Amino acid sequence: MNRFAALLDRLIYTPSRNGKVRLLTDYFAEVPDPDRGWAVAAITRDIEIRSVKLAVIRSVVASRVDEVLFDLSRDYVGDTAEAAALIWPAEHGSNRVPSLSEVVGELQSVSRSEAPALIERLFDALSAEGRWALIKLITGGLRIGVASRLVKVALAEYGGKEVQEIEELWHGLKPPCQDLFAWLEDKAEKPVNAMKAPFRPVMLSHPVDEVDKAKIDLSNMAIEWKWDGIRVQLVRDGDEVRLYSRTGDDISNAFPDVTDGFPVNAAIDGELLVYDPAVTDGFAVRPFNDLQKRLNRKTVSAKMLKENPAFVRAYDILWADDEDLRTLTLDERRKRLEQVVGNSLPRVDLSERIDGTDWETLAEHRSSPPLDAIEGVMLKSKDSAYVPGRPKGPWWKWKREPRLVDAVLMYAQRGHGKRSSFYSDYTFGCWRGDELVPVGKAYSGYTDQELKKIDKFVRDNTTDRFGPVRAVRADREFGLVFEVAFEGLQKSPRHKSGIAMRFPRINRLRWDKPAGEADELITLEAMLPK
Amino acid sequence: MLALGHARTGCNTTPMKPHQLLHPTPKGLYCPPGDFFIDPVRPVDRAVITHGHADHARAGHGAVLATPETLAIMAVRYGEDFTERRQALEIGEVVSVNGVTVWLVPAGHVLGSAQVVVEYQGTRIVTTGDYKRRRDPTCAAFEPVSCDIFISEATFGLPVFHHPDTASEVRKLLSSVHQFPDRTHLGGAYALGKAQRVICHLREEGYDKPIFIHGAMKKLCELYEEFGVALGPLEAATIEKGRGEKNRFAGEIVICPPSAIQSTWARRFPDPLPVFASGWMRVRQRAKQRGVELPLIMSDHADWDELTTTVEEVDPTELWVTHGREDALCRWAELQGRRAKALHLVGYEEDAE
């Protein structure tokens, strides 16, 4: 358990992705079954613990610690779980530190009445870090900055496998996942995902660069709109129905309207979108902002279902009626898709194919699509099989040009990890009268050389400091102008400017441009979706 | 325990009230009969200095009485003219200052650190300065002295502070060096005391490669060596002209002042991994705020257990608590049925350690 706690501690403090993967793979190599499997489960999903709640921990701590001293400590530390873990005056109990799997086993089998005694015993046996990890296990939600995707990547790297293979198995895995580790270490066959309605790793596309155009035979390409939603896979096999994100996370619980509205046995690949319930003739797609309201939720309210109903715009089919269709060509799969989806499913429709056999037509589609919810065009080779991963050649995406605005640097914050000595996160603003109003924040898009120059500018022109943040001189006469690229805008009452940018990044440094000539806020407001 | 109890038994006059012997003033703790200050925060005529950290040892006093080590540290930091008159007092040596008996006892905080014992007309007060109880290979260990008034620091005076075993913290650093051999481990540590202690513990764990040090550490490390603290091979963390030099530091340990980690100086190292050795690293939010990737919980101050066991061991008539979290230690004393009060001295940096 202390080893698991040490892993969590290092993961919390390590900002880089590669660093986290290294910490995880080393842990998998060092820690035997079944502990490492429980660690995977604890990091990526909540382990269900029924009879121990936070209140038990509070009462156990109160039994050994003066209330005044605890309150002083909690105020200082700022977190109840951490204060409880640190303040615990351990008495000598067993000399043996329990393993993670022993702890999980005991937590899952203990009765309500025995819970306080168990917590007291575990607290005495564990280090402060171990106690903290124990409390986090009990309360759920480790919040250590590690997404399940990262754990899958680490597992794949540990076993020298493709991450798609892990994704495919993921939902069939039962902790402590010994069969998975046996396969990763080449000691056993790949486990069979016996779960119904499994996730099938998705096929991804490449962006079209100018140089690629010559290689793309447009006569062999099916053209579709690129919808601005999220990529999903919707699968039904009898009673079992699931909606997966593109990395295989199960998001069914948040979208009962979609899963209920898909009554056929098939696995389809498509875009999750939200439509306007007032329009009854087909699905009137609404912008991404409306979809965002429904993302990252564990459950969904009736009001939300009514106001922001979701559906899937299907563009491919991977499986139907016990038949794997992935080896068929795109055109063959399209026929099957049309048969399965038709035009009468409650929450699934077809992504239409559009014209375009020359780049001029495509360019026009791309730059002026009929809806805000379209962000470009997709080009898919008609004779391609469905290949997981990102094979170069069969599928292309040609996104519309980002939107641009000239904004003035207002605040700079120090970065993390490699960039901890650089002011690398920038808040920039546009003019409202003579006042600059912050409109966004970006920490990418510049080169290392440019970063050095901006950093120097920040240090030379600091007007105020707030911890790791510096205010930078920015007025009509003086300031650094960024050309900021972004994908879209939405209204946001939480921001002073009333708008929020999607994927803002620094496109160009405009050392040449006087700050007073940066864009006005009204220019941005005009770009808001109607 | 130092046996100097006879000094009290031979005295027949009524003991003077403790606050008449020593009391806080805006300049620091003042002893009226002896006419001297302990660790004054502003220039005074006569100062007794517990140890060389900047918030306790300031330049510009008329006369300074301290251990030879502390005087040497002040001279290195402020220049030879840091005071008009120096008076070196060896540990255990007793002097009389205007009739007040004064002697110094090891505090275990940093090289030369001492508790100040003052005794006058049958009343004895011990001022700890900063102290710790665990083993430190770079300085003499704390010795408890029985007294009427014990003035204890309380930097880590909250029961959440249990500093872990120092060796195991240092082993965390070594295992991270092993795990990330392409990165430079940039160890932030205060230039006086912590830096040398980290180095000594690394040596005790068998790390015998050169350790690279920031320029600000050089003179103090040399001074420690002069006083017999062996630090092993040290090299300057500087880059010679020419490309490719940077990679020289991959997999190496560099010790620097904490503020240097986020300075432009740190850019000379390949993919630096920020380490910080401090008692404050016990609190996650503190470590996160500073962008530390490997916090080492290592303090030169007493943790909660050390504070409370020291008070029990010294067993003073009354406990006075200063700089730090006075509330909690006073609450603890109250629960123990001990007399205690907070002194509220100003001018000491709570984060400096």
Flag if A10 and B294 touch (Cβ within 8 Å): yes
Q: Count of H helices and E strands in chain B? A: 9, 19
pLDDT of residue A96: 86
pLDDT tier at B349 (50, 70, 90 boundaries)?
A: low
Flag if B285 and A78 touch (Cβ within 8 Å): yes
Peptide bond into B270 cis (omega under 30): no
Q: Count chain A–chain B contacts defined by CB atoms under 8 A.
A: 86
pLDDT tens digits, A311-359 = 999 999 999 988 999 999 999 999 999 999 988 899 999 999 998 889 9
What is the pTM for the complete model shown?
0.82
Of B158, B261, B264, the CB nearest to A76: B158
How far is it, in rounded angstroms, from Cα A7 to Cα A494? 36
On chain A, the residues whose CB falls within 8 A of the CB of B266 are 420-421
Contact map slice: B 68-107 vs A, CB within 8 A? none
Q: What is the largest CA-CA distance in chain A?
A: 78
pLDDT of residue B241: 64
Exposed / middle / buried, residue B122 (Cβ in 10 Å: 0-12, 13-18, 19+): middle
Residue to substitute from A8, A124, A420, interface B, most B β-carbons within 10 A: A420
How far is it, in rounded angstroms, from Cα B35 to Cα A110? 67
Give the lowest-confidence range in A57-66, A290-299, B37-46, B296-305: A290-299
Q: What is the ipTM of this complex?
A: 0.89
pLDDT tier at B23 (50, 70, 90 boundaries)?
A: very high
Residue type, B48: V
How far is it, in rounded angstroms, from Cα B50 to Cα B290? 29
β-bridge mates for residue A486, sequence order? A403
On chain A, the residues whose CB falls within 8 A of the CB of B180 are 19, 22
- Interchain CB contact of A305 with B (< 8 Å): no
Contacts of A512 (CB under 8 A, 6+ apart): none
Contact A381, A394 (CB under 8 A): yes
pLDDT, average across residues A69-93: 91
pLDDT of residue B7: 44
Exposed / middle / buried, residue B280 (Cβ in 10 Å: 0-12, 13-18, 19+): buried
Distance to chain B for A325, nearest Cα, Å: 45
- Residue A213 DSSP symbol: G
How far is it, in rounded angstroms, from Cα A156 to Cα A208? 29
pLDDT tens digits, A192-232 = 877 889 999 999 999 998 899 999 999 999 999 999 999 99
pLDDT, average across residues B157-178: 96
B38: left (phi over 0), alpha (psi -120 to 50) or beta: beta
- Interchain CB contact of B261 with A (< 8 Å): yes
How far is it, in rounded angstroms, from Cα A129 to Cα A88? 11
How far is it, in rounded angstroms, from Cα A466 to Cα A368? 44
Of B161, B162, B295, the CB nearest to A13: B295
Has residue B198 got a pLDDT over 80? Answer: yes
How far is it, in rounded angstroms, from Cα A104 to Cα A98? 10
Count of other CB atoms within 10 angstroms of residue B342: 17
Reduced 3-state DSSP string for A299-330 = CCCHHHHHHCCEEEEEEEEEEECCEECCCCCH
- Interchain CB contact of A417 with B (< 8 Å): yes
pLDDT tens digits, A6-49 = 999 999 999 889 999 999 999 999 999 999 999 999 998 768 88
How far is it, in rounded angstroms, from Cα B114 to Cα B93? 12
pLDDT of residue A93: 74
Q: Are strands B318-324 and B149-154 parallel, antiparallel or unpaired?
A: parallel
pLDDT tens digits, B6-21 = 444 444 456 678 999 9
